[in-house]
Structure 1
Amino acid sequence: MVLQPLPAFTDNYIWTLADAAGRGVVVDPGEARPVLRAADAGLQPLALLLTHHHADHIGGALELLARWPGLPVFAPDDPRVDLPCQRMRDGDQATVGDWRFDVLEIPGHTSSHIAFVGHGRLFCGDTLFSLGCGRLFEGTPAQMLASLDRLAALPPDTDVCCGHEYTLANAAFARVVDPDNAALRRRTEEAFAMRQQHLPTLPSTLADELAANPFLRIDTAPVQAALSARFGRAPGDRVDAFAALRHWKDGFGA
Structure 2
Amino acid sequence: MMAMSRGAVARLLAGPFLAAAITGALAHEIIDLDRANKLVAVADSAADRARKASGRASEGEMLFSLGEALIEATDLLNRDMAAHGGELTLNGQILLKGLSQRDLAPHFEKALKRYLLPRQQLEAAIRLAPAASYVPRARFALVKARFYESFALDPFKPLRADISAIEQESSEAEALVPLLEDPDEREEAAFIHAVDLAREVKLAGKAGNPSTVEPKARAALRTFAETYPDSMRAASASVILQGLEQAQR
TM range, smaller chain? 0.3 to 0.5
Tell me the TM-score normalised to structure 2 length. Answer: 0.34
- Which of the pair is proportionally richer in helix? 2
- Which of the pair is proportionally richer in strand? 1
**Structure with higher RCO (Cα < 8 A, 6+ apart):** 2
